[in-house]
Structures are given as structure tokens and as C-alpha cells.
Chains A and B, each alone.
Chain A
Amino acid sequence: QQQVKQSPQSLIVQKGGIPIINCAYENTAFDYFPWYQQFPGKGPALLIAIRPDVSEKKEGRFTISFNKSAKQFSLHIMDSQPGDSATYFCAASPYTGTASKLTFGTGTRLQVTL
């Protein structure tokens, strides 16, 4: 499976800041891009996902921006809160792929301070 490169590895922001996590991919067959959120000692949970037919998707304070030509996508968290402190994983899979075809990024550990 092709790699998904995620950065930064860790991120510290103050409450109310806007952390941005970036991911880049190589496989042009990828066309489903979910983000998973994982709290310590727990399993990941789907946060938000995007398909390449749109350049942006918002769900509450979470926004995915997608740049198909650059093969990059990013997660923005508006008005970040201490409760957002978690590890975030981007992922990608081809349209014809089941969940077994998901390739995960290496994760970003986010800490939101008071």
C-alpha cells in the first residue's frame, strides 16, 4: 500500500487556537480520506471524512481542506479546547477498496493547553 505522510508528529496549542494537521499521499487512486481521533487508552473513532469532489468539508469545529492537484489534505480545529487533546490519524483508500484498503498516517499528538 502506498504511504500517507502526516505532519507534524506532535503539536501544542493554546485554548482557542487553530491547530492544523497535514497529510500528503502519492497514490492517485486514493479517493476517500477519513480522519480518526484517538484518546489515550482508547481506540480511534471516525471524526470526519472527505471525497475529492469537494475542496472543503466542515463538521462543527472540524474542517478538512483538500487539494487534489497537490495530493494533500489537512484537518483544522477551530476554537480548540482542552478536550480536543488526542492523537489524530489521517487515512486514505481507493474508491474500490473496503476498509481493509485504508492506509493510515503516523498520527499527530495534539495537546491543547489552558
Chain B
Amino acid sequence: DGGITQSPKYLFRKEGQNVTLSCEQNLNHDAMYWYRQDPGQGLRLIYYSQIVNDFQKGDIAEGYSVSREKKESFPLTVTSAQKNPTAFYLCASSQGRTTNEKLFFGSGTQLSVL
């Protein structure tokens, strides 16, 4: 089945620790995105990438980093600089070739602080 796989489903971070969330897609999409979802705040864009080896900051990039070494993979690292990391993190992809594109989302990773 084609889709987006996020892992792990649940993740716990200790103070001062960096953690990495995995996102893999087999839809052959060019563009990939990371969103943060907090209760009552909707979806906010962290980073996005429209092509391999290139990515741009979204609205709330501080305290996060990404890489795009392969078309299929777009991991997100939540660094120790992110002081309020507890949230539901969603990875998404789109074809990346047109406007008004449909976003395809993974099932998310719930990150909590110990």
C-alpha cells in the first residue's frame, strides 16, 4: 500500500536530549512537510522540502532541524533548544508540482517530555 509511515507512534524526551522522528513515503512525491499539532491551535508548519537536499523553514522552525538526503525520507530532529516539545507531530507529502495540492498525512508521532 502506498502511503506515509511515521515512527515511532509515541516518543519520550528527557531534558537536554535531542530526539529524531522518522518519516518515510512510498508515493514518489517530491514535496514533504512537518507539522506540529497542539490542542486548539490547528496545524503549524515546521519545515518543508520540495526537492532532495533542499528544505525551507516554516512558521515555527526554531528548535527543530531536518534533512532530506533521499526522496523517500524526511526525518525531523527535535533539539534541546525546543523548550516546549510536547505535541503531536505530523509528516505529510504532496506531488510538489502544482498549486492547490492535496496533502497526504502520516498517522503522527506523539512526543512527550519526561
A residues with CB within 8 A of B: 1, 6, 9, 32, 34, 36, 41-46, 49, 51, 89, 93, 95-100, 102, 104-107
Contacts and interface: CB of A to CB of B under 8 A. Distances in A.
Nearest to B41: A106
Contacts of A107: 40, 42
Contacts of B107: 41-43
Interface string B20-59: 0000000000010100000011111100101000001011
Chain B CB count within 10 A is highest, among A6, A105, A107, for A107
Given A9-B40, A104-B43, A43 B100 contact: no
Interface of B: 4, 6, 31, 33, 40-45, 48, 50, 56, 58-59, 90, 92, 94, 96, 98-103, 105-108
B43 A99 contact: no
A106 B100 contact: no
| Majority DSSP secondary structure for residues of A touching B | loop
Chain A CB count within 10 A is highest, among B100, B102, B105, for B100
A99 B33 CA distance: 9
Contact of B106 (A6, A36, A43, A96): A43
